[in-house]
């Protein structure tokens, strides 16, 4: 079923971010903000089909996250054909193909944003994914689709862990694409024409080229040009880039005509980001008024700490104590918008357990006046790393 057709407009979704939007983070966001749609971190199609079981962790999810879309990347049509069947078997609501990751290792292999330079291959990946979905919907088993029985058993365990019921009906999933304006320069018109030949259900367009990475401002005028190309095709277009609060959404929708937006960095340390979405969404863009968004700084410190602790505890339940170091960046992102936040953020990079985190927070509450600020502020890039803010 095409769930996209039933989402309210404009669509407000959580953008996939590698190393950030794991099952725990998405669950916390779903409980506190509830976006219209969420995506997994990207998973390589080889890992889906033949890789170590640990690499399938990125495809873990819970029912509260629905609708949930599995994002895949790679450059092998045969593996996309197989992986698409696995996505169906795992109960996802949609499949998204990453054609926008600017990482050197990903793009250099011809995957991610590297596919912008090979449009015929990009189109073949969409075709292969759709064939896999159609064959699965037609009753083909995973073994018939090329999977070994041991891999099928892994998928079955993943479904049981989630508490999923066996598949009772096989419906084809919608295929979407997340990409960028171009490789070294903006070539959005030619690139959109190629993608539209395969009629993806949705194209999510980040307003930067691969060369830009996450530098500079997102080019929403180029996104607007892409909108003009998809009109009348049946494909939805979502814009992505520099949405810092829901206040930004009405203006972007009015200026470009996008069907919705995906938000990435704006949600880091702010899982409540989407909470007021109904206040800024009207029946038409004209009645969407600014000023209703929740800025991270508007959330009281103690409320922020409560969600932070909830996030950390759930992370340990899902991934275990040994993986706690992965939580540190999230802990730092929560520490903003209150006095002496920078000094607390500096301590978060050393926290190794929930108990230690609780101790640090208690000490901060009792003696905030003794903590000096760091000499500079910090910002966050979409790779999930802290970076000094340039003037």
CB-count burial class (<10 Å; 0-12, 13-18, 19+) for 279: middle
**Average pLDDT of the chain to the nearest whole number:** 88
Active site residues: 101
What is the CB neighbour count within 10 angstroms for residue 143? 11
Q: In whole angstroms, what is the distance from residue 227 CA to residue 206 CA? A: 13
Angle at 173 between CA 111 and CA 133, to 5 degrees: 70
25, 38, 267, 360 from 309: Cα distances, Å: 12, 22, 17, 11
Which of the four pLDDT bands, split at 50, 70 and 90, describes residue 8?
A: very high
Q: Which two tokens stand for residue 289?
A: 């008024």
CATH architecture of the domain with residue range 3-296 = Alpha-Beta Barrel (3.20)
Least confident segment among 14-23, 103-112, 281-290: 281-290
pLDDT of 183 higher than 50: yes
Could you tell me where in the chain the CATH 3.20.20.70 domains are found? 3-296
Query: Which residues 6+ apart lie within 8 Å of 81 measured at CB?
Result: 128, 129, 131, 132, 145, 146
CB-count burial class (<10 Å; 0-12, 13-18, 19+) for 156: middle
Q: Which two tokens stand for residue 276?
A: 């007021």
Q: In whole angstroms, what is the distance from residue 269 CA to residue 222 CA? A: 29
The per-residue pLDDT for 366 is 86
> pLDDT tens-digit profile of 38-67?
999 999 999 999 999 999 999 999 999 999
257: alpha, beta or left? (left if phi > 0; alpha if psi -120 to 50): left
For residues 195-220, give the mean pLDDT: 94
pLDDT of 356 higher than 60: yes
> pLDDT tens-digit profile of 138-154?
999 999 999 999 999 99
What is the CB neighbour count within 10 angstroms for residue 278? 12
* Residue 187 contacts residue 226 (beta carbons within 8 Å): no
């Amino acid at each position: 079923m095409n769930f996209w057709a039933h989402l309210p407009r404009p669509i407000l979704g959580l953008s996939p971010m590698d190393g950030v939007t794991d099952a725990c983070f998405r669950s916390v966001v779903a409980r506190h903000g509830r976006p219209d749609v969420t995506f997994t971190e990207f998973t390589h199609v080889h890992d889906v089909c033949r890789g170590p079981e640990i690499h399938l962790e990125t495809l873990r999810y819970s029912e509260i996250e629905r609708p949930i879309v599995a994002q895949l990347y790679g450059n092998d049509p045969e593996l996309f054909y197989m992986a698409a069947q696995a996505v169906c078997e795992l109960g996802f609501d949609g499949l998204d193909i990453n054609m926008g990751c600017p990482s050197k290792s990903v793009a250099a292999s011809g995957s991610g944003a590297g596919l912008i330079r090979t449009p015929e291959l990009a189109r073949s990946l969409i075709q292969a994914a759709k064939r896999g979905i159609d064959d699965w919907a037609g009753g083909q088993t995973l073994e018939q689709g090329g999977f070994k029985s041991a891999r099928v058993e892994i998928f079955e365990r993943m479904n049981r862990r989630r508490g999923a019921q066996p598949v009772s009906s096989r419906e084809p999933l919608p295929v979407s694409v997340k990409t960028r304006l171009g490789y070294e320069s903006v070539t959005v018109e030619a690139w959109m024409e190629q993608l539209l030949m395969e009629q993806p259900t949705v194209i999510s367009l980040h307003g930067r080229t691969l060369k830009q990475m996450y530098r500079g401002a997102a080019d929403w005028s180029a996104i607007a040009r892409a909108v003009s190309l998809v009109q009348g095709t049946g494909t939805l277009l979502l814009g992505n880039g520099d949405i810092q609060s829901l206040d930004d959404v009405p203006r972007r929708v009015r200026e470009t005509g996008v069907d919705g937006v995906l938000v990435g960095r704006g949600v880091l340390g702010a899982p409540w980001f989407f909470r007021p979405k109904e206040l800024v969404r009207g029946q038409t863009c004209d009645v969407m008024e600014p000023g209703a968004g929740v800025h991270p700084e508007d959330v009281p410190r103690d409320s922020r700490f409560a969600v932070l602790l909830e996030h950390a505890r759930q992370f340990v339940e899902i991934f275990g104590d040994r993986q706690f170091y992965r939580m540190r960046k999230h802990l730092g992102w929560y520490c903003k918008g209150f006095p002496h936040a920078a000094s607390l953020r500096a301590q978060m990079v050393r926290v190794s357990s929930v108990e230690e985190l609780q101790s640090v927070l208690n000490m901060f509450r009792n003696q905030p006046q003794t903590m000096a600020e760091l000499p500079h502020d910090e910002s966050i890039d979409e790779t999930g790393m802290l970076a000094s803010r340039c003037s």
